[in-house]
Structure 1
Amino acid sequence: MFVKSSKELYGWDRFSKVTLLLGIFLIVARSWILASTLIIYSIWRSRSTNMSGRNNEKFVYENIERNFHYKIKNFRQSFKQNIKNFKIKIKKYKPLEQLKEKRNYMITYCPKCRQKLRVPKRKGKIIVTCSKCSSEFRLRT
């Protein structure tokens, strides 16, 4: 019944330590039944002689942990990308600058090539030269 050497025992692995720490945390959170169950289970796992069963449990735990970390990593990356996209949208949309531009400049189009042109306001009759097709036309601002 008693084990003679510690080589026959499974020992403390990561899963046993996590269940023990979770049990201690649940004691602090006043969940006595679940906490004591987890603590007893972690001690039983560490003192077990069934190595293959404990290795299978550890393998399942490591897969769950790996998937959890992978999902957190993907969530962080997508969150950072969303924040980056949001900042780009904020930089593109600047209502105060657009309002200042609308006060000081008039937007017109070239009659030949329909290029959008920006001309200063309150200059009277001016001759505008298109930057694309170099055609000249008169405009009152």
Structure 2
Amino acid sequence: MKERLARFMQGRYGVDQFSRFLLIAGLVLVFVSLFFGSSVLGSAAYLLGWVMVIYCYFRMFSKNISKRYAENQSFLSKTSGIRNFFQNQKNIWKQRRIYHIYTCPSCRQKIRIPRGKGKIEVRCPKCGTTFIKKS
């Protein structure tokens, strides 16, 4: 069965970030439409959700690889700011176990200080301002 699926998918585009987004957003819209019942908003969300899911599968099974690749690159370029913001937040939360992250009071530069050093004088590398913080 696995070989048959692999043979079927040969020469087809497959799954990428834009397809994942379409699938998740479509399923969320279908799920949200359950809360609105048979109202106009609920019906529109339900229809739009299924259109997104169907388009996701169309993209996965498409043999026009260059066009699907261009669509994915366009999606990635338009969402790069949002994705970078969440990646930065994730990195900051990982570092909070080991470091305190302070903001310089004059230039707003973020400064990373190791935890457990007691009260220390912090010097901002950008503007040279010094301030005392507890690590």
Q: TM-score, normalised by structure 2?
A: 0.49
Q: Which has the higher contact order (CA 8 A, sep 6+)?
A: 2
Structure with larger Rg: 1
Q: TM-score, normalised by structure 1?
A: 0.47
